[in-house]
Amino acid sequence: MPDINVILATDCGSTTTKAILIEKINGQYRLTARGEAPTTVEAPAEDVTRGVINSIAEIEDITGKTFIKDDKLIVPKEGDKGADIYVSTSSAGGGLQMMVAGVVKQMSAESAERAALGAGAIVMDVLATNDKRRLFQRIERIRNLRPDMILISGGTDGGTVRHVVSQAEVIAAADPKPRFGIGYELPVIFAGNIKARDAVTETLNEKTALQIVDNLRPTLENENLKPARDAIHDLFLEHVMQHAPGYKKLMTWTSAPIMPTPGAVGDIMQLIAKREDIQVVGTDIGGATTDDFSVFRGDKDDPESPLVFNRTVSANLGMSYSISNVVSEAGIPNIMRWVSFDVDERILRNSIRNKMIRPTTIPQGLNGLIIEQAICREALRLAFIQHKQMAVGLRGIQKQSSIGDAFSQKSSDETLVDMIGLDLIVGSGGVLSHAPRRNQSALMMIDGFAPEGITNLAVDSIFMMPHLGVLAQINEDAAIEVFEKDCLIYLGAVIAPVGVAPYGKPCMTVEIHGKGRWDLKVGEMKLIPATHDEEFEVTIIPNKKFDIGAGKGKTIERKVRGGTVGIILDARCRPIMLPEDHNERITALQSWNKELDIYPEI
């Protein structure tokens, strides 16, 4: 491969196209400029390349360099003009929208949902033989939703065929039409029992663009998601992108296949977890949805077990367009518990209604900011609950019986999310990345995720994870280098023991060698200034009712780094306990805010 010194990357979002310029400087890849412009996939332009050109033109204005000639990118370079490579991701037009179907909702349909989510799709609905809907309701649902693609799974290889084929028959009866491209056939992927392939082909081949791949669940004990995910990516380019306005032209410019934005974010998260051998949780909280990503070991008791990736989309939890859903699901009392001043519930409701009416506005005063960040905490908490419910081991393997038995089977599978073993939480989205103070971002993430033990916190500085995820397809080292040096802002580490005790009781003693020693009582927080360049030996002695990772009351010694915020000691118990009395709660919130330098004095 020739030397790659100049890289352009774009993310074509639903409203904004974001471009970044990466250059090799003194042997290191660094972010050197960024530009953005409105996405132009809709009328009047109806050509996504216009937004791409406009965003890169902003980079030209900033750098004084030339990347555009005759309304086209100069790739590869021509002398000192242009870039060596250009890559892009996209979620314009609502991103990749899919439906998945399986025989048993808790087994094959759940595996299909994991495959689709991992490929970067928004899963509009999950169909299953046991989903308690009548046949006409499933048919009506498919016709009304008009997905970009459908994934069918079901049956272990060599198992029953009838239930699998019935799912194909439902889709054939619906005869669904795709969102884009009048007159072309809807892509359908079959990733089920190999014995059902002929019958599924006979049912769907004439009405859909059918593609057959390896079974998602060849046996009850094994899940094989990669073939289905690869097929989703290929069909995303071949069908969805080919018919979206301007994408056919854009695809001729790129040096690697265009990826769905969430798929690219998931790829970079997995890459970091694998290279660093760490367990990671990431969140992207937007205006309409909250995406959660996680990479955890398949067996929390086996440090050598392989890492497992999961992604979920909470399509009803966001900070602008979906803010009313957050309030409805969380409830006003759960939001008010994070507000550190006396506020009338009517004022709070009116503030939320104003945001619903004008979803793109930002808070104009400190009180408005506190209320918005209180809502963010609940959105993070609720989305993470949904994620933990989806990030589970394979269901059904403990009961290898007939398919009929599986219909009524209730799973007791534990989530793969192991908070005590979590190494890093990465926050992204405007409310986290653009908070007025990084300390605010750190506390929102602590309150939303309730990390346990010792956990590092970071935020994506300008949301360039999608760009780096797709870049990693071509140059993994460049993607990792920019991710570490320019993308992530390390906020520091939080030390939080697991356990419950009354406020004021002893919780833990923390000694940071070279810094000092602190005895914390339940309900206290402490901020220790420390930069990311500083690494300390830390001894943590929890009270007998608390566990920091080695068992209740057992001391641990670890190396801990600081960050832009520092090292945070959190003795508020796990789960987090807030005082029930209104005045005591406000006093506690204000004391934590003051200790962690969250807001100016109210």
Q: Are residues 80 and 116 in the same domain?
A: no
- Work out the pLDDT band at 43, boundaries 50, 70, 90: confident
Check whether 535 has a pLDDT greater than 80: yes
Please report the pLDDT score of residue 320 as a whole number.
Answer: 85
In a 3-state reduction of DSSP, which class is residue 33?
strand
Please report the pLDDT score of residue 343 as a whole number.
Answer: 86
- Work out the pLDDT band at 583, boundaries 50, 70, 90: very high
Please report the pLDDT score of residue 411 as a whole number.
Answer: 44
Q: Is residue 582 part of a domain?
A: yes
CA nearest neighbour of 40 among 59, 58, 54: 54
Please report the pLDDT score of residue 412 as a whole number.
Answer: 43
Q: Is residue 334 part of a domain?
A: no
What residues have CB less than 8 Å from 196, skipping those under 6 apart? Answer: 154, 155, 161, 164, 165, 190
Q: State the Cα–Cα distance between residues 267 and 480, nearest whole angstrom.
A: 11
251 forms bridges with which residues in the sheet? none
Tens digits of per-residue pLDDT, 358-412?
877 888 889 999 999 999 999 999 999 999 988 887 765 544 434 444 443 434 4
Q: Are residues 492 and 528 in the same domain?
A: yes
Q: State the Cα–Cα distance between residues 130 and 138, nearest whole angstrom.
A: 12
pTM for this predicted structure: 0.86
Q: State the Cα–Cα distance between residues 441 and 443, nearest whole angstrom.
A: 6
What's the rounded mean pLDDT across residues 451-464? 93
What's the rounded mean pLDDT across residues 136-144? 92
Check whether 595 has a pLDDT greater than 80: yes
Check whether 238 has a pLDDT greater than 90: no
Q: Is residue 382 part of a domain?
A: no
Comparing 41-45, 86-90, 187-191, the range with the smallest average pLDDT is 41-45
What's the rounded mean pLDDT across residues 28-42? 91
Q: Are residues 483 and 457 in the same domain?
A: yes
Tens digits of per-residue pLDDT, 210-237?
999 999 999 888 889 989 998 998 888 7
Check whether 531 has a pLDDT greater than 70: yes
Number of structural domains found in the chain: 3
Check whether 172 has a pLDDT greater than 70: yes
Please report the pLDDT score of residue 396 as a whole number.
Answer: 59
Please report the pLDDT score of residue 592 as a whole number.
Answer: 97
Q: Is residue 400 part of a domain?
A: no
Please report the pLDDT score of residue 296 as a whole number.
Answer: 95
Q: Is residue 386 part of a domain?
A: no
Work out the percent of the chain whose per-residue pLDDT is above 70.
95
Query: What CATH number did the domain enclosing 138 receive?
Result: 3.40.50.280
Q: Is residue 55 part of a domain?
A: yes
The last residue of one of the domains, among 41, 68, 92, is 92
- Written as six digits, the tokens of 142 are 């498919």
Average pLDDT, the chain: 90
What's the rounded mean pLDDT across residues 294-322? 87
Question: What's the alpha-carbon Rg for the chain, to the nearest Å?
Answer: 25
Please report the pLDDT score of residue 497 as a whole number.
Answer: 97
The last residue of one of the domains, among 218, 253, 288, is 253
Full residue range of the structural domain in which residue 589 is found:
262-315+415-595
Annotate 384-425 with DSSP letters as a single string. Answer: HHHHHHHSB--TTTT----HHHHHT----PPBS--GGG--EE
Higher-confidence position of 403 and 460: 460
Please report the pLDDT score of residue 1 as a whole number.
Answer: 53
Q: State the Cα–Cα distance between residues 119 and 170, nearest whole angstrom.
A: 24
Please report the pLDDT score of residue 401 as a whole number.
Answer: 39
Q: Are residues 170 and 249 in the same domain?
A: yes
Residue pair 492/457 in contact by the 8 Å Cβ criterion: yes
Check whether 344 has a pLDDT greater than 60: yes
Check whether 241 has a pLDDT greater than 80: no
Higher-confidence position of 179 and 169: 169
Q: Are residues 78 and 205 in the same domain?
A: no
Q: Are residues 422 and 451 in the same domain?
A: yes
Q: Are residues 56 and 123 in the same domain?
A: no
Helix and strand element counts for the chain (H, E): 19, 24
Q: Is residue 548 part of a domain?
A: yes
Q: Are residues 105 and 124 in the same domain?
A: yes
- Work out the pLDDT band at 80, boundaries 50, 70, 90: very high
Q: State the Cα–Cα distance between residues 563 and 418, nearest whole angstrom.
A: 23
Tens digits of per-residue pLDDT, 478-497?
999 999 999 999 999 999 99
- Written as six digits, the tokens of 308 are 């497992």
The last residue of one of the domains, among 92, 123, 153, is 92
Query: What CATH number did the domain enclosing 29 receive?
Result: 3.30.420.40
Tens digits of per-residue pLDDT, 94-117?
678 899 999 988 888 999 999 999
Per-residue HEC secondary structure of 541-600 comes to: EECCCCECCCCECCCEEEEEECCCCEEEEEECCECCCCCCCHHHHHHHHHHHHHHCCCCC
Q: Are residues 54 and 197 in the same domain?
A: no
Residue pair 21/36 in contact by the 8 Å Cβ criterion: no
What residues have CB less than 8 Å from 146, skipping those under 6 apart? Answer: 176, 177, 178, 179
Q: Are residues 234 and 156 in the same domain?
A: yes
Q: Are residues 20 and 58 in the same domain?
A: yes
Side-chain half-sphere exposure of 262, counting CA atoms within 13 A: 34
Q: State the Cα–Cα distance between residues 64 and 389, nearest whole angstrom.
A: 50
Q: Is residue 345 part of a domain?
A: no
CA nearest neighbour of 497 among 449, 457, 547, 540: 547
Please report the pLDDT score of residue 94 as a whole number.
Answer: 66
- Work out the pLDDT band at 346, boundaries 50, 70, 90: confident
Q: Are residues 191 and 271 in the same domain?
A: no
